[in-house]
């Protein structure tokens, strides 16, 4: 007959039950120790547990609809070529993920719509007249980054941002050219920082030179409000980012409370778009409340620093968010809530003895 002996040593504050030895015979009921059942051969999962009827496909589908709405505004302003750019980035992302999934023997992973969302976000971050081959290359790079990181839920940085960053490194002149009749090659934000007088209204309505999805600040805010109402996105990160972004601009921008200066920085350079749709990405942002607030604050501060000190008017927010993606996990570890009470030490040792009956 085989006997399993379990030596449970518990060193608890105010507890005199240390050094208990329990002999469990085959067929006996498992004893109860301190209201917790002890299973010698299994491990019990612990809380928290959360269940929801909402699936990844549902969330990504809602994000797709939101990005299509923004894309519609961009197509209305910039014409047919903007629609072709969005089609190339979205379809290119889906096809690239299919190919990579086949090569890595993962099967078809495009059913969750995450590839389509990444492709649409990349397209919305590109100029309306960018060559289509560049847009396709950016989509391929985005999906390569996503799948080499392990797929959805495992990427360290946002795939769409990586695609835009790659295009900036390789084809900077094409990605920085906003020429699209009747608009010129530079944005209102760049005009303002070069000393020209600008107006905020065109940046609200999208009647200005910009990326396809970032030109209309009003459209970005309306779509963000829709996603917040549906429970798809979190408002804490965008609010924290805007507050600290404005504070840094007021303190160090040299223009004080000038509404035109502050409004141009908030509405321009894709800051609102990135804060609303990319900084709130589930995988590359913290999960704790304090962590999200800190994440948004640092994103706003870094964006302001990139524009004021480094001169990155249009792409400062992009660079700042890529850095924050890398800091998301350390922020989670720092801001993770600690349990109440004093720490407890518990050691469980299981010893197998074989005896002949």
38 and 60, same structural domain? no
132 and 26, same structural domain? no
pLDDT of residue 299: 97
Q: Can you give the residue range of the structural domain that contains 283?
A: 56-335
pLDDT of residue 198: 85
- Length in residues, the chain: 357
90 and 174, same structural domain? yes
In a domain, 51, yes or no: no
Report yes or no: 178 and 209 within 8 Å, Cβ to Cβ.
Answer: yes
Q: Collapse the DSSP code of 51 into the 3-class scheme (helix H, G, I; strand E, B; otherwise coil) and give the result.
A: coil
Cβ neighbours around 27 below 10 Å, total: 5
Q: Which burial class, exposed, middle or buried, applies to 141 when counting CB atoms under 10 A from its CB (0-12, 13-18, 19+)?
A: buried
Strand partners, 180: 183
In a domain, 350, yes or no: no
Residues 6+ apart with CB under 8 A from 191: 198
107 and 67, same structural domain? yes
The structural domain count of the chain equals 2
Q: Which residue's structure tokens are 């321009």?
A: 268
191 and 268, same structural domain? yes
Query: pLDDT tens, position by position, for the chain (357 residues)?
Result: 333 333 333 333 344 444 444 444 444 444 444 444 444 444 545 555 555 667 788 888 899 999 999 999 999 999 999 999 999 999 999 999 999 988 888 888 888 889 999 999 999 999 999 999 999 999 999 999 998 888 888 889 999 999 999 999 999 999 999 988 888 888 888 888 888 888 899 999 999 999 999 999 999 999 999 999 998 988 999 999 999 999 999 999 988 899 999 999 999 989 999 999 999 998 999 999 999 999 999 999 999 999 999 988 889 999 999 999 999 999 999 998 877 655 555 666 656 555 444
pLDDT of residue 352: 58
Cβ neighbours around 22 below 10 Å, total: 14
150 and 15, same structural domain? no
pLDDT of residue 345: 59
In a domain, 142, yes or no: yes
In a domain, 349, yes or no: no
Residues 6+ apart with CB under 8 A from 293: 236, 237, 240
DSSP string, 144-201: HHHHHTTSTTT-SS-HHHHHHHHHHHHSHHHHT---BTTB-SS-HHHHHHTT----SH
pLDDT of residue 50: 59
In a domain, 101, yes or no: yes
259 and 324, same structural domain? yes
In a domain, 129, yes or no: yes
pTM of this prediction? 0.80
82 and 11, same structural domain? no
pLDDT of residue 8: 37
Structure tokens at 106: 């993962």
330 and 248, same structural domain? yes
How many CA atoms lie less than 13 Å away from 256 in the CB half-sphere? Answer: 2
- Return the CATH number at 326: 1.10.3430
In a domain, 211, yes or no: yes
pLDDT of residue 26: 42
61 and 40, same structural domain? no
322 and 213, same structural domain? yes
Structure tokens at 178: 């906003």
In a domain, 40, yes or no: yes
64 and 38, same structural domain? no
Structure tokens at 174: 């094409």
Residues 6+ apart with CB under 8 A from 70: 124, 213, 216, 219, 220, 223
């Amino acid at each position: 007959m085989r006997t399993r002996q379990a030596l449970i040593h518990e060193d608890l504050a105010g507890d005199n039950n240390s050094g208990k030895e329990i002999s469990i015979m085959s067929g006996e009921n498992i004893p109860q120790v301190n209201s917790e059942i002890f299973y010698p051969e299994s491990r019990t999962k612990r809380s928290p547990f959360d269940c929801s009827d909402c699936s990844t496909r549902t969330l990504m589908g809602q994000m797709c609809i939101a990005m299509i709405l923004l894309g519609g505004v961009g197509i209305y302003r910039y014409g047919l070529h903007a629609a072709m750019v969005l089609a190339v980035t979205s379809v290119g992302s889906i096809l690239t993920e299919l190919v990579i999934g086949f090569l890595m023997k993962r099967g078809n992973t495009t059913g969750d719509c995450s590839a389509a969302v990444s492709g649409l976000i990349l397209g919305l971050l590109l100029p309306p007249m960018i060559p289509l081959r560049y847009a396709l290359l950016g989509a391929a790079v985005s999906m390569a980054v996503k799948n080499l990181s392990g797929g959805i839920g495992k990427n360290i940085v946002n795939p769409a941002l990586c695609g835009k960053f790659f295009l900036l490194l390789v084809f900077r002149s094409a990605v920085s050219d906003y020429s699209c009749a009747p608009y010129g090659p530079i944005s209102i934000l760049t005009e303002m920082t070069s000393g020209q007088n600008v107006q905020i209204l065109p940046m609200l309505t999208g009647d200005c030179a910009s990326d396809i999805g970032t030109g209309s600040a009003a459209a970005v805010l309306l779509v963000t409000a829709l996603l917040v109402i549906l429970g798809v996105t979190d408002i804490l990160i965008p609010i924290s980012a805007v507050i600290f972004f404005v504070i840094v601009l007021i303190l160090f921008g040299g223009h004080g409370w000038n509404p035109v200066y502050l409004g141009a920085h908030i509405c321009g350079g894709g800051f609102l778009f990135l804060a609303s749709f990319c900084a709130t990405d589930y995988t590359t942002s913290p999960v704790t409340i304090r962590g999200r607030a800190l994440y948004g604050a640092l994103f706003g501060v870094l964006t302001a620093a990139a524009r004021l000190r480094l001169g990155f008017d249009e792409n400062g927010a992009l660079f700042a968010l890529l850095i924050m993606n890398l800091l998301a996990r350390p922020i989670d570890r720092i801001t993770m809530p600690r349990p109440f009470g004093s720490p407890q030490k518990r050691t469980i040792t299981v010893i197998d003895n074989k005896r002949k009956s």
